[in-house]
Amino acid sequence: MSKNTATLLVTCPDRKGIVAAIADFLYRHDANILHADQHQDAENNLFLMRVEWSLEGSAINADNFSIDFSPIASQFEMTWQLKLAQKRPRMAIMVSQYDHCLVDLLHRHQSGEFACDIPLIISNHRDAERLAEFYGIPFHYIEVTKENKAEAEAQQFALFDEFEIDLIVLARYMQILSPDFVRRYPERIINIHHSFLPAFIGARPYHRAFERGVKLIGATSHYVTEVLDEGPIIEQDIDRISHRDQVEDLIQKGRDLERIVLSRAVRWHIENRILLYANKTVIFD
């Protein structure tokens, strides 16, 4: 069951009194703070904060929160978001032929690790169709070619609208999204790239890592922007390799990293632990 909590995410110019003002506001509304974390970026003079509180016994009304909180938000020039734990986000997964990340996401969702709903899976191949059927999730095959890319994306947009999708996860979806696609869903598309960015952007990174003779390989989850593989990084991990490893060994080790790194990014997004600024992310505990 979802927790009955609310989470406030705040970004504003750094100055004295911000934490005190937020804590006092919650205290005056009988809110019991469960978690609070903050970060100051001196270079950009920014203050970022995540605070979560229980709604049980609280006088805070989510419908009127914007009105009640506006004096503080105006005073400190805040950009803020209020997230309710009982409003489960709706996540669409896009995949091509490699299904290892999809398998991991579906298993974690079924085991209750992700507090979200997955109403659809979209693919430009049929390889994952039986897997989607096993988990009881509608599968939509949409062929993508150079000639029909705009039409294919229009079909995808229609599905996202129909199912009221909040988050799109590219679980090794091997297509470059159009600028229109990315602009429609800012900060709502998470990708897994099979290298330790910014090294080896684009296609065939394991092959290029092997050719370069690297001793570490990695995987990177990031938000998608219009610039390929340069969106804000959410999570990364690495594994050591040696001269004995061939391309196939790099791919096998890399797939384990991809699953872990993508699942962490998805969970943190769902739990409202991420704030973005200056093409960076802050991941709150």
Residues designated as active site: 229
Q: Among 263, 186, 267, 195, which residue's Cα sits nearest to residue 231?
A: 186
- Kindly give the interhelix angle for 247-270 and 205-212, rounded to the nearest 10 degrees: 130
Tokens of 57: 């016994």
- Residues with Cβ < 8 Å from 144, sequence gap 6 or more? 124, 152, 175
Q: Taking every pair of C-alpha atoms in the chain, what is the biggest distance, in angstroms?
A: 63
Q: Taking a C-beta distance cutoff of 8 angstroms, is the pair 261, 235 a contact?
A: yes
Per the structure block, which two tokens stand in for 117?
A: 């709903």
Query: Rounded to an integer, what distance in angstroms lies between the CA atom of residue 260 and that of residue 262?
Result: 6
Strand order in the sheet with 79-84: 32-41, 46-54, 5-13, 79-84
Q: What span, in angstroms and rounded, lies between the C-alpha atoms of 217 and 215? A: 7
Judged by DSSP in three states, 238 sits in strand
Q: What sign results for the dihedral spanned by CA atoms 105, 111, 113, 119? A: positive
